[in-house]
Amino acid sequence: MTVHSVLAIGCHPDDVELGCAGALLKHRSCGQRTSMLVMTGGQRSRTFSGDTRRKEQEAAASILGAELFWGGFNDTEIDPGRATIDVIEAVMEQVNPDVLYVHAPDDSHQDHRAIAVATVSAARRSSRILFYQTPSTTHFEPTIFIDAEENLDRKIAALECHASQVEAGSFHVDAVRASARYWGAFARASFAEAFTPVRFVWDIAPSFTLHDSLAQVDFALEEGLGSTKGVAATPQLNLRTLRSELTTPRPITWRLASTRCFSRSPSISLASITPRRVSPGS
Ligand SMILES: [Zn+2]
C-alpha cells in the first residue's frame, strides 16, 4: 500500500492522541506526511482556562511530528452538517490524505458522533477511512490493528502534554497502556492500536518502492539519524550517498536490504538498511 499522507481528525485536544497517536508515529517514521485536525478548543472541559488546551495540543502535535489544523468550532456544538463537512474538506484539499482516522460513531459524546458522520461524508471519495476508539466510545469491535510497541512511550509522552486533562482525570495514562496491551493480544503483538474500517482498500503493491525508500532516507536525514551509532557502525552506508544512488538512473536498481522503517529507537539500527544490488525486476 502506497501512502504519502494521512489525516487524523478529533473533536477536542487529546482525542487524536488517545485514538491513533501510535499510528501517526508509525506513518511519520516511514517518511509519510502526518496531519491532525482538531475541531474545537475544548472550551467546555472542567479545567479550561485561557489558551491552555491550545498550547497543550500544540506541544503534543510537536511530539508526534504532525502538522496541526484547528477546526474553529465550539466544544459540544459540532453538528454533522455542511459547515463541519466544509472544514474537513478544506483540510483534505491541503494535505490530500491517503488514510483518514476519526472517532468511532458509537460514542456518548455528541461531538464525537457528529464528526464521525461528517467525516464519512467529507471522505466519500477516499479509499481508506478508519474509526478509532477513545474512552467515551460505547461500542467497538475492531478488525484492523497497528503495532504500537515501538511508539507507545512517545504516544504517552504526547498524551502527557495534555496535563490539564490528566489532572482532571479525563483519561488515565495507565489505562492507555493497558488498552494497547489488550488490543495487542488480539493483534498478535505486544501492544496495538485498534480500528474499525468504514472502507479500507488494500492496494496490493511492491512492499518497498523507490518513493518509500526516498521518503525514509529524507526522514532520517531530517531527524539527524545519520549521525546515530547504528550508522557509524556501518561505514559503507552514507545516507546522502544512498539518496544519490536511489535517484540516479542506472541499468540495475538498488534495493534496501530491509523493509523496516527508520526509528529513533536505538534498537533499530540503520545498519539494517545497508543497500545491496539486485537484478532488474527482482
Ligand atoms: Zn473528545
Measured in Å, residue 10 CA sits from the centre of ligand 1 at: 7
Measured in Å, residue 11 CA sits from the centre of ligand 1 at: 5
pLDDT values of the chain reduced to their tens digit, one per residue, 282 residues: 678 999 999 999 999 999 999 999 999 998 999 999 999 998 777 666 668 899 999 999 999 999 999 999 999 999 999 999 999 999 999 999 999 999 999 999 999 999 999 999 999 999 999 999 999 999 999 999 999 999 999 999 999 999 888 888 888 999 999 999 999 999 999 999 999 999 999 888 665 566 667 777 777 777 766 544 444 444 445 677 777 767 765 543 334 444 344 433 333 334 344 444 444 443
User: Can you tell me the distance from the alpha carbon of 93 to that of 196, in angstroms, rounded to the nearest whole number?
Assistant: 24
Measured in Å, residue 259 CA sits from the centre of ligand 1 at: 35
Measured in Å, residue 119 CA sits from the centre of ligand 1 at: 15
Closest CA to 239 of 62, 65, 33, 31: 31
Domain boundaries 5-200, CATH class: alpha beta
Measured in Å, residue 171 CA sits from the centre of ligand 1 at: 11
Measured in Å, residue 134 CA sits from the centre of ligand 1 at: 8
Predicted TM-score (pTM) of this structure: 0.77
Q: What local confidence, expressed as pLDDT, does residue 22 receive?
A: 98
Measured in Å, residue 15 CA sits from the centre of ligand 1 at: 5
Q: Where are the beta strands (DSSP E) in the chain?
A: 5-10, 33-40, 67-73, 99-103, 128-132, 144-147, 192-200, 253-256, 275-278
Residues surrounding ion ligand 1 at CB below 5 Å: 11-12, 15
Q: What local confidence, expressed as pLDDT, does residue 146 receive?
A: 97
Cell of 60: 503534543
Measured in Å, residue 84 CA sits from the centre of ligand 1 at: 15
Measured in Å, residue 218 CA sits from the centre of ligand 1 at: 34
Pairing verdict, β 67-73 and 128-132: unpaired
Measured in Å, residue 69 CA sits from the centre of ligand 1 at: 16
Q: What local confidence, expressed as pLDDT, does residue 236 receive?
A: 43
Eight-state DSSP code of residue 227: G
Measured in Å, residue 103 CA sits from the centre of ligand 1 at: 9
Measured in Å, residue 60 CA sits from the centre of ligand 1 at: 15
Measured in Å, residue 14 CA sits from the centre of ligand 1 at: 7
Closest CA to 110 of 133, 74, 81, 78: 78
Cell of 246: 536511489
Measured in Å, residue 189 CA sits from the centre of ligand 1 at: 27
User: Can you tell me the distance from the alpha carbon of 201 to that of 126, in angstroms, rounded to the nearest whole number?
Assistant: 9
Cite the residue boundaries of each domain of the chain with CATH code 3.40.50.10320.
5-200
Q: What local confidence, expressed as pLDDT, does residue 228 receive?
A: 42
Cβ of 12: how many Cβ atoms within 10 Å? Answer: 29
Measured in Å, residue 78 CA sits from the centre of ligand 1 at: 11
The number of helices, as runs of H, and strands, as runs of E, in the chain is 10, 9
